[in-house]
A and B are shown apart, each in its own frame.
Chain A
Amino acid sequence: MSFFEIFGFALRGVAANKLRSGLTVLGILIGVAAVILLVAVGTGSAKQVEDSLAALGTNTLTVQGGRGGDTGYRTDLTLDIVKALQDKESAPDVKSVSPVVTSAQTLTFGDASYDVNSVIGTYPSYFAASNSVVASGSGFTEEDVDQAARVVVLGPTTAEELFGTVDPVGQRIGIAGQIYSVIGVLAKKGSTGFNDPDDVAIAPLPAVQRSLTGYGPVSSITIEAASADAVAAAKAEITAILNAKMHVADGASSTPYQIRDASQLLETRTATAETFTVLLGAVAGISLVVGGIGITNIMMVSVTERTREIGIRKALGAPRRVILTQFLIEATLLSLAGGGLGVAAALIGANFEIVGIKPVVMPDSVALALGVCVAIGLFFGSYPASRAAGLRPIDALRYE
């Protein structure tokens, strides 16, 4: 018999047993789709955790000064130092540098007044560095800084305390007797500890200096590193620049400044990523086992019937090679159909949010799922057939 004719036999075999074929395809479909989707959900939630950790500002470093130290030179954090830190040559891993002055003040709006936690004077880059997102209105610009414009962006807590239900954007408020225009309100960050990060008012640095703190040194400098991975390098560059500016001797036991970074957060992030990698591996493994057992079940259920059929075919004089080829083609057709439909189902399913998580399909998991499930389908589709084809016809006919 030609291969073409045996292929026809296999097609007829698949078509003749629609229920069994359908169940086999379904078993493989579910196996493949389960593996891909479970891994996608796992990957999605890992990504979500990573994103929310990144939102906490793992890229930022804070330099605080005013720790004395007797180098015999000025050790204040000045705008001169800010300029030096902004130098791309000596600090390539630094993305932005934002000097910060803070002062606790009472804000007034009409008859209402509110003691804000801190009025922050800074540069526009501070918003990105501190993950402060402007929810309504806008932030201020470099131009506002140059002109020392009296504009202010309020934290959501501050805005609510002072304005209640009134839209703050476009209103004028008083800060220590000076009139400021409210140009924006920040999105809620949520409390991270004792401090409410939403209880702030952020204005251009020179405006705050002129009206509130004076033109002395800034209280801290917030620095954003180019990426989470560049934090360590950025820290080294900053240290070198500060040591040079403040004439700190090499190997000095104490420095007149302190650099705080989010190393703890970074560690958490790394640990979380590792946990998720292990978890994903387990999920993939378990779903492969589950899918594999499903496929095996379906395939084994039909072994008895098929063994008898093989017995009949052998009694009619079917050569072993023809039987094997037919059953291998059948198993291949069903496995490929199930695998293809499984991938399609998974890709469609991945478009929907599952338990609040947007699945992220990993190409590796598609290859793995297809490979393993199709291999199982092929094996359990053709191994019993090859065994049956090796039996004496009478033993195959009597098989139970």
Chain B
Amino acid sequence: MTAPGREQRPVLDVVDLVKTYGEGETAVHALAGVSLTVAPGDYVAIMGSSGSGKSTLMNILGCLDVPTSGTYRLDGVDVSELNESQLALVRNRRIGFVFQSFNLIARTSALANVELPLAYAGIKPAVRREQALAALDMVGLANRADHDPNQLSGGQQQRVAVARALVSQPALLLADEPTGNLDSRSTRDVLSILDGLNAQGRTIVLITHEDEVAAHAHRTIRLVDGLVVSDVRRRDITPVGVMA
């Protein structure tokens, strides 16, 4: 499938993905056969009306959920063949996930939240502290490192969540409506961080309702009732070189 030389192996390679909730009469086909590939360095926006299956797709891509049928290859590896601890490793090293509802751990400082993926990766406390501070610095929150989530605004919380998603330097960043709960200013802050990350060669897939947000991406995929109805590229993929 992958031509040797110029074209690179896709980061995401999804074939005929189906996800059905429930059984029989009441079954909901959240995904009805989705196929798509995403090359390294791409910046993809997934759009679609509410209930069209965007989150369902994203959760499967993030290895947080499993499909009913179909295959999902991440960096060429069929995810369905991984066991529990290998999946934990994939979630920890390969993927950074940003939730619409932030999902920071309560009563735990921003720094400790950002350190978590590094801790689970087995990195020594001194080193991970340094890296977590660098990640917070990158999202402009180094001065809020000691604040608990409830002492931060929504935009700041989401930036902490972005810092946490990128701190382990994953090649793939997935964001499910990362700006859905944010005002326009915080939205700009978060998007400029994502733009910067993509410029460094990181692959980003984000879900959004808003055209202005989708405009930041290089490619827009539209879902209707669990099926891909359009896939439009506006810009070329950022040349990769920074990321291996």
Contact between A16 and B107, CB atoms less than 8 A apart? yes
Of the candidates A9, A305, A319, A397, the one whose C-beta lies within 8 Å of that of B103 is: A397
- What separation, in Å, do the CA atoms of A17 and B64 have in the docked complex? 26
Contact pick for A12, options B93, B97, B108, CB 8 Å: B108
Q: A1-B119, A5-B125, A16-B108 are in contact. Are A317 and B64 (CB under 8 A)?
A: no
Q: Which of A9, A312, A395 has the most CB of B within 10 A?
A: A312
Which of B44-52, B81-89, B139-147 forms contacts with chain A? B81-89
For the complex, is A188 an interface residue (Cβ under 8 Å from B)?
Answer: no
Give bound CA distance, A322 to B107, whole Å: 20
- B173 CB to nearest chain A CB (Å): 13
The answer to whether A312 and B88 touch across the interface, beta carbons within 8 angstroms, is no
Q: Is the interface of A mostly helix, strand, loop or mixed?
A: helix
A12: min CB distance to chain B, Å: 7
Residue of A nearest to B58 (CB): A394
A interface footprint on B72-115 (CB within 8 Å = 1, 0 otherwise): 00000000000011001111110001010001111110001000
A20 to chain B, nearest CB (A): 10
Q: How large is the interface on A (under 10, 10 to 19, 20 to 34, 35 or more residues)?
A: 20 to 34
Contact B89 A317 (CB under 8 A): yes
Which of A309, A311, A316, A395 is close to B92, meaning CB atoms less than 8 Å apart?
A316
Whether A317 lies near B65 (C-beta < 8 A) is no
- A residues near B (Cβ < 8 Å) are 1, 5, 9, 12, 16-17, 305, 308-309, 311-320, 322, 392-395, 397
Q: B residues touching A (Cβ–Cβ < 8 Å)? A: 59, 62-66, 84-85, 88-93, 97, 99, 103-108, 112, 116-117, 119-122, 125, 164, 168
A-B contact pairs, 21 of them (CB 8 A): A1-B120, A1-B122, A5-B125, A9-B119, A16-B107, A309-B106, A312-B103, A312-B104, A314-B91, A315-B64, A315-B103, A316-B92, A316-B116, A316-B164, A318-B120, A319-B89, A322-B120, A392-B64, A394-B64, A395-B65, A397-B103
The 6 closest A-B pairs by CB, nearest first: A317-B92, A317-B91, A16-B107, A393-B64, A394-B65, A394-B64
